[in-house]
Amino acid sequence: MARSPEPPRYYAAAAAGYPRSSSSSSVVASCVVAMLFIVLAAGGAAAALFLLYRPRAPAIAVTAVQLPSFASGNGTVAFTFQQLASVRNPNRAPLAHYDSSLRVAYGGGEVGSMYIPAGQIDGGRTQYMATSFTVPAFAVSSSSSSSSSSSAAQTITVAASGPSPAVATALALHQQQQEGTPLMEVDSLLVVKGKVTILRVFTHHVEAAKVCRIGISPADGRVLGFRC
């Protein structure tokens, strides 16, 4: 019986020396590199989105304070408190505010408050909030009428370009004290709370507050000035 011819020796040598393991290791390395690239790209995209859409608290500015009605007698005062403030939403997404409030305090104790109705401020927009509520009668210390005589001397520095509105108000209050005009000071606290939804998925809570000190004449309720 005739024997089949043997395959050429160079075929056998090529089959014996073929690097089978190197191909699989190169595939694994390529997968690892691709996975690292995807992770880095996802991290960069998340960082860019966070910088663009990071939640920021609203900016509050009090523009006016008035007392439309004022009554005093027997060492007590009662008045209607009105405050106009602007609230700006610095975020790209809308700001849904709720549980916001305005409180008035005298001598370290709260004398009146009001909750602000919920609403929404579009991204990059400013909304004006006008609040008005009645403050019931509360006792006024006699030291408020004589605070000018007992207050220590103060130094107020003004820039060469002229005083800013806040400094001008401080100067007016300081002048009233120096002239011996009776002065009653109350504090107002405006708190704005809300939430910002980023990309319609992530919700972040934000909160901002603004405290103002208001100088009032205890004789007729005139607002002599305020600073925040």
CA distances (Å), 193 to each of 101, 151, 210, 228, in order?
Answer: 9, 37, 12, 19
Q: Mean pLDDT over all residues of the chain? A: 79
This prediction's pTM: 0.66
Angle at 116 between CA 110 and CA 117, to 5 degrees: 155
Residue matched to tokens 């011996």: 180
The enclosing H or E element of 12 equals: helix 9-16
Question: In the Cβ-directed half-sphere of 131, how many Cα atoms lie within 13 Å?
Answer: 28
> Rounded distance, CA 78 to CA 212, Å?
19
* pLDDT confidence band for 81 (50 / 70 / 90): very high
**Mean pLDDT computed over 198-214:** 90
Sign for the pseudo-dihedral over CA of 105, 216, 207, 127: positive
| 48 contact partners, CB below 8 Å, separation of at least 6 | none
Task: Map residue 80 onto helix, strand or coil.
Answer: strand
pLDDT of residue 200: 76
Structure-model confidence comparison of residues 27 and 6, the more confident one? 27
Structure-model confidence comparison of residues 128 and 8, the more confident one? 128
70-73 and 59-66 strand pairing: unpaired
Q: pLDDT digit string (tens) for 113-160?
A: 999 999 999 999 999 999 999 999 999 986 554 443 333 333 334 444
Paired strand residues for 207: 193
Q: pLDDT digit string (tens) for 22-70?
A: 667 777 777 878 788 788 887 777 676 666 668 899 999 999 999 999 9
Query: Which amino acid appears at position 110 of this protein?
Result: E
CATH architecture of 59-227: Sandwich (2.60)
119-121 and 95-97 strand pairing: antiparallel
